């Protein structure tokens, strides 16, 4: 088995195990654990979305404005395009 396939199998097994654990925490555990699990999941989901939005805002705020491209005229075009 090659390395990529082994990593893929590990990711698959761990994902299924976490899914089973999450199912147990949400549906089969005591009510206090159910509420806490849903609260943590909601907080992480909203937090991830807000972190992505913050990153986008930071990137837009700190990226310098690009220089405008000069307009192409017949004089500035390459010779091959002039022949067409």
pTM above 0.85, yes or no: no
Q: Quote the percentage of the chain above a pLDDT of 90.
A: 75
**Domain range annotation of the chain:** 3-60
Q: What is the pLDDT of residues 46-74, one digit of tens each?
A: 999 999 999 999 999 999 988 888 877 66
Calpha distance 78→50 (Å, rounded): 47
Whether the per-residue pLDDT at 78 is higher than 70: the answer is no
Mean of the per-residue pLDDT values of the chain: 90
């Amino acid at each position: 088995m090659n390395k990529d396939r082994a990593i893929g199998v590990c990711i698959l097994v761990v994902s299924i195990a976490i899914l089973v654990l999450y199912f147990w925490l949400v549906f089969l555990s005591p009510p206090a654990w159910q509420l806490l699990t849903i609260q943590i999941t909601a907080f992480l989901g909203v937090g991830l979305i807000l972190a992505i939005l913050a990153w986008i805002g930071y990137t837009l705020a700190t990226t310098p404005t690009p220089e405008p491209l000069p307009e192409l005229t017949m004089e500035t075009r390459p010779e091959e395009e002039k022949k067409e």
